[in-house]
Amino acid sequence: MKLRVAITLLVVSFAVPLLHGQQPTFRSQVDTIEIDAVVTDSSGRPVENLTAADFQLLENGTPQTIHSFGLVTVPLVASRPAVADAAVQTNTDSDGRLFVIALGNMPAYLALRTRDVLRHFIVDHVAANDLVSIVSIGSSTARDAQDFTADKRLLLRALDSFDGSIRNPFTTRMQGDTLRDLLESIGQIPHRRKALLYVTSATFDIADVIRGSETGEAADLRPLRDGLAIAMRGNVAIYPIDPVGLRGAGLGADEGAVLTPSMVALERDTDLKIMADITGGFALVNSNRYADAFQRIVQENSTYYMLGFSSTNTARDGKFRRLEIRVTRRDLVVHVRQGYIAPGEKDILLHTLKPIGVQFGPAVAEALERPVEDGPVPMWVTASASSPAADTESIVVVSAELDAAALATEADVQVELGVVAVSADGTLVRAQRERFAAVPVTAGADGRRIRGTTSLRLPPGRYQLRVAGGNVDAGRAGSVLYDLEVPAPPRRTKWRPLPVHK
């Protein structure tokens, strides 16, 4: 993906190129629509005993047939299981929530407040099985960005670097383009609900953007409308958060205080609420109840129903279509996005991404493209970097063990191991591939494993390694994300003789 504005690490690493020489085509179609619905009782507790017969789904008032249905429950994991080597990363415990924290434009004093508020979210509300990414909208550096990781230490380090500074100039069009790229990237992650915590003191006229107005600010924000369309179809729930909090009350304000916002602030609140409503999230504006909001965000992304349908309206007209979900029990509350934007006739998302010369098989290449770890083939990965000499690159050794039963291979079948290294500024630095015979060489507590090892050279810096492995012929591959710090060479101290005093 060619970025219109640098949005640091997140979006670039979402767009790791296909590495087996084919040009990828992403196609968003109206044929199949998936929608997630949060259902609670009158006390706000999630309800988990409903069936497809309890739901009625309407599009623009017309009943639709639900052809797929399921309840998603994501456990809260307080701590990861103990492993023999703390440096081992695995994709066997990756079924957690997916959070993206987007930091928008704001003055420095609000950036300080934002860091304090989000620190509580990361420390108190992110579970060990969750994946979180941080991106700074319009930032001129990658210091305040972090790709998907479960490591709270890395998240807090990225958060502490955020100071609110943005590129200059950073126009409305540029901000819309940047948000569009971000929403498109998140929306391409399949088969799960994604939560975008969008912290910003700025806003857009979202109502005009959704209507597709070609005048005024909405004309400049046409790319943002495309991004919102992808977010709606890709189950991305946006949770706008105004860092100002309770207006006029200061940092230590009473949460129960009631203040009257100005008309400008009221318009901003309305726009943020519209953005939340159309995507299935909620907006926190003119309030200091951050802890309550964070708890609700986690709950909504932990227990929900997934409903799939094919629209009876097959027109590719690019119009907003309103969705409504009802349940037969009147005592229940349903929280769902308000609708989606249908594709237009020419609305086929194409991205021409340059291959980097390493020829991976299709299954491994697809696994490497995903911004989150994937578990069709359970994997256990370790990586270590040698201490470099002055002016040289480190040798990084990557060892992976793959579950033999998941590969379902015979001893003479080839297994492929692929590694790509993405730097902290989002640059794809190196890629490496190995193929080897699928001979089980070690036994874990959960069965036989196949081991493979490869190496690549990297300059000093912070990287995310994406490691994927699978059967060359069967089309199955898993992937693991591995955060690695490659050390800088030791500083040389020039020897000088001590002075001689006579």
Is the pLDDT assigned to residue 409 strictly greater than 70? no
Report if residue 493 sits inside a domain.
Answer: no
- Residue 110 shares a structural domain with residue 187: yes
- Residue 278 shares a structural domain with residue 425: no
The confidence band for 358, taking pLDDT boundaries of 50, 70 and 90, is confident
What mean pLDDT comes out for the span 76-93? Answer: 62
Report if residue 357 sits inside a domain.
Answer: no
Q: So what's the pLDDT on residue 252?
A: 46
Q: So what's the pLDDT on residue 494?
A: 60
Q: So what's the pLDDT on residue 414?
A: 82
Domain containing 453 equals 364-486
Report if residue 498 sits inside a domain.
Answer: no
Higher pLDDT, 30 or 384: 384
The confidence band for 1, taking pLDDT boundaries of 50, 70 and 90, is very low
The confidence band for 330, taking pLDDT boundaries of 50, 70 and 90, is confident
Proportion of the chain above pLDDT 90, given as a percent: 30
- Residue 157 shares a structural domain with residue 264: yes
The confidence band for 173, taking pLDDT boundaries of 50, 70 and 90, is confident
Tell which of 276, 308, 341 closes a domain: 341
| CB distance 475 to 432 below 8 Å | no
Q: Which amino acid is present at 372?
A: V
Is the pLDDT assigned to residue 371 strictly greater than 80? no
- Whole-prediction pTM value? 0.73
Q: So what's the pLDDT on residue 166?
A: 66
- Residue 114 shares a structural domain with residue 63: yes
Higher pLDDT, 229 or 267: 229
Which residue, 354, 209, 188, is CA-closest to 274? 209
- Residue 35 shares a structural domain with residue 155: yes
Report if residue 145 sits inside a domain.
Answer: yes
Token pair recorded at residue 74: 């994501």
Report if residue 496 sits inside a domain.
Answer: no
- Residue 241 shares a structural domain with residue 328: yes
CATH of the domain at 35: 3.40.50.410
The confidence band for 326, taking pLDDT boundaries of 50, 70 and 90, is very high
Residue carrying structure tokens 């690695």: 484
pLDDT digits (tens, 9 = 90+) for 428-448: 888 999 988 777 666 655 678
Q: So what's the pLDDT on residue 361?
A: 86
| CB distance 333 to 346 below 8 Å | no
Range from 169-178, 342-351, 474-483 that averages highest in pLDDT: 474-483
Among the ranges given (155-164, 212-221, 264-273, 412-421), the one the predictor scored with the smallest mean pLDDT:
212-221
Higher pLDDT, 302 or 498: 302
* Full DSSP string of 369-414: H-SS-B-SS-EEEEEEEPPPPTT-PEEEEEEEEEEHHHHT--TTSE
Q: So what's the pLDDT on residue 13?
A: 36
Report if residue 409 sits inside a domain.
Answer: yes
Is the pLDDT assigned to residue 347 strictly greater than 70? no
- Residue 418 shares a structural domain with residue 304: no
Report if residue 287 sits inside a domain.
Answer: yes
Token pair recorded at residue 55: 């739901």
Q: So what's the pLDDT on residue 353?
A: 30
Is the pLDDT assigned to residue 2 strictly greater than 70? no
Q: So what's the pLDDT on residue 258?
A: 47
What mean pLDDT comes out for the span 306-323? Answer: 90
Is the pLDDT assigned to residue 216 strictly greater than 80? no
Q: So what's the pLDDT on residue 381?
A: 92
CATH of the domain at 433: 2.60.40.10
The mean pLDDT value of the chain amounts to 78
Long-range contacts at 392-397 (CB < 8 A, ≥ 24 apart): 392/489, 393/457, 393/458, 393/459, 394/457, 394/458, 394/459, 394/460, 394/486, 394/487, 395/455, 395/456, 395/457, 396/421, 396/455, 396/456, 396/457, 396/458, 396/465, 396/484, 396/486, 397/453, 397/454, 397/455
What mean pLDDT comes out for the span 354-382? Answer: 79
- Residue 409 shares a structural domain with residue 471: yes
What mean pLDDT comes out for the span 340-354? Answer: 53
What mean pLDDT comes out for the span 2-31? Answer: 35
- Residue 119 shares a structural domain with residue 267: yes
Report if residue 380 sits inside a domain.
Answer: yes
Among the ranges given (125-139, 170-184, 348-362), the one the predictor scored with the smallest mean pLDDT:
348-362
pLDDT digits (tens, 9 = 90+) for 243-299: 888 876 554 444 444 444 555 567 668 888 988 999 999 999 989 999 999 999 999
- Residue 167 shares a structural domain with residue 287: yes
Is the pLDDT assigned to residue 308 strictly greater than 50? yes
| Domain count across the chain | 2
- Residue 290 shares a structural domain with residue 369: no
Is the pLDDT assigned to residue 128 strictly greater than 90? no
Per-residue HEC secondary structure of 157-225 comes to: HHHHCCCCCCCCCCCHHHHHHHHHHHHHHHHCCCCCCEEEEEECCCCCCHHHHHHCCCCHHHHHCHHHH
- Residue 292 shares a structural domain with residue 376: no
pLDDT digits (tens, 9 = 90+) for 450-500: 888 999 999 988 888 999 998 877 678 889 888 888 888 766 656 666 666
Q: So what's the pLDDT on residue 245?
A: 84
